[in-house]
Amino acid sequence: MLEGKPLADKMRPDTLQDYIGQSRAVGQETLLRSLLETNEIPSLILWGPPGCGKTTLAHIIANNSKKHSIRFVTLSATNAKTNDVRDVIKQAQNEKSFFKRKTILFIDEIHRFNKSQQDTFLPHVECGTITLIGATTENPSFQVNAALLSRCRVIVLEKLPVEAMVTILMRAINSLGIHVAGASRSTDPLSHSSNSSSEPSVFIEDKAVDTLAYLSDGDARIGLNGLQLAVLARLSSKKMFCKKSGQAYSPSRALITENDVKEGLQKSHILYDRAGEEHYNCISALHKSMRGSDASASLYWLARMLEGGEDPLYVARRLVRFASEDIGLADPSALPQAVAAYQGCHFIGMPECEVLLAQCVVYFARAPKSIEVYSAYNNVKACLRNHQGPLPPVPLHLRNAPTRLMKDLGYGKGYKYNPMYSEPVDQEYLPEELRGVDFFKQRRC
């Protein structure tokens, strides 16, 4: 069973009863579950991180649909063209016209289709020629046309919890005939009597199962394929060792350790997508943690981004903005700190510049906060946007008069040059209709 197809594909469940970890979306009392069980399937957008069960849920819907003589067609937006979509729709129209047969079209990675390609579905979803099910790892609010999105029910699938990952892994372990060597078992799992068959008795440490569940970060595909690779690697290395040492290979003994699992994963388990939803989630969390003066949380979100491959200059630019937006005049030195951090990142790059950003982030988290300037400027913008009619002219006494004509027209007349006065100067600087307005104290002019 270890050869051929990836273990994640072989272990894909066929029924909702075996579908694990998404009780909030398709639990016993949910509307979607009732619709699926009665085969009343609406157009859906399945949104969630990689390996959370989007394709599996579509696979279950496909199995159920075939039992009710409903066509289920699958396309992947990574390689399908517009003509492929049109061919499917044309066939769906024929099936509906001649045989009264429904068609469900599943589009994997639907966010990879551009606007014109997504528009192809719109009239056919509207009139019921096809029921569309799209799967995406990206926020459909940004990646799916608004008109198409309004005709679909968005189902949010979450990252699988560790408990669900353990259940999925144990199901695979049992199906492969692998034994779990836990604390309740013999301290030497290899001392178990070997099977009479030629198939090896493979053991896996209980701790290795937990480690794999944690490091998979809620991605069942990574967990199952990591398990498969760890087992194959252990069996292969055992064969190689016996061959080199001249010993007879015994297929009855193999132990999968925690280190084997870690090597099998061969990936960073940090979930982060520089161009996707997690990108915006993490920068928002960093911004709010600094605003809330939590230095530890600020460092955590910074590290999540940098270790996940984020461009340090992007983070540095956000810090420059934060310095004026959230700290402002409460600590005017914050802005030079942010600019220096940006320049330092530009000079030396990653990984050396990570400590520069860390220092800046901690400084900002500990700094006093003020949104006085930020709020006042927003008030000014609101005043300008809400103004009815032509904007008021610049008062004549504030205008520059570089020519004689402009002086004759009254430009600059009556202006009081402040440095020439020892006392405060009584002089208006706003247009006449805005006199008395204080943008630091009021929102409307």
pLDDT for 200: 53
Q: Does 117 share its domain with 167?
A: no
CATH number of the domain encompassing residue 306:
1.20.272.10
Q: Cα(395)–Cα(430) distance, rounded to whole angstroms?
A: 8
Q: Does 118 share its domain with 172?
A: no
Q: What pTM was computed for the model? A: 0.64
Give the residue from 220, 240, 266 where a domain finishes.
266
CB atoms near residue 44 (< 10 Å): 24
411 within domain boundaries = no
336 within domain boundaries = yes
Q: Cα(22)–Cα(52) distance, rounded to whole angstroms?
A: 8
pLDDT in tens, 174-226: 988 888 886 443 334 433 444 444 455 788 988 889 889 888 888 999 999 88
Q: Does 71 share its domain with 131?
A: yes
Q: Is the pLDDT of residue 70 over 60?
A: yes
339 within domain boundaries = yes
Give the residue from 335, 369, 403 where a domain finishes.
369
- Say what the alpha-carbon torsion angle 241, 244, 250, 255 is, to the nearest 10 degrees: 0
Given CA atoms 291, 294, 299, 300 in this order, what sign does their dihedral have? negative
258 within domain boundaries = yes
Q: Does 27 share its domain with 144?
A: yes
Q: Mean per-residue pLDDT for 272-283?
A: 73
101 within domain boundaries = yes
297 within domain boundaries = yes
Q: Are 166 and 224 in contact (CB under 8 A)?
A: no
Report percent pLDDT > 90 for the chain: 47
pLDDT in tens, 407-438: 888 999 999 999 999 898 999 999 988 888 99
Give the residue from 233, 266, 299 where a domain finishes.
266
Q: Does 99 share its domain with 143?
A: yes
Report percent pLDDT > 70 for the chain: 88
430 within domain boundaries = no
Domain that includes residue 340, residue range: 277-369
Q: Does 84 share its domain with 128?
A: yes
Q: Is the pLDDT of residue 41 over 80?
A: yes
CATH number of the domain encompassing residue 204:
1.10.8.60
Q: Does 29 share its domain with 144?
A: yes
Q: Does 26 share its domain with 142?
A: yes
In the chain, how many domains are there?
3
342-349 long-range contacts (CB < 8 A, ≥24 apart) are 342/313, 342/316, 342/317, 345/312, 345/313, 345/316, 346/313, 346/316, 349/312
419 within domain boundaries = no
CA neighbor of 154 nearest in space, from 289, 310, 298, 44? 44
pLDDT, mean over the chain: 86
Q: Does 39 share its domain with 143?
A: yes
CATH number of the domain encompassing residue 29:
3.40.50.300
63 against 4, higher pLDDT: 63
Q: Does 313 share its domain with 249?
A: no
Local structure of 26: helix, strand or coil: helix
pLDDT for 182: 66
Q: Cα(121)–Cα(84) distance, rounded to whole angstroms?
A: 12
Q: Does 248 share its domain with 281?
A: no
Q: Does 152 share its domain with 27?
A: yes
Amino acid identity of residue 349, one-letter, is G
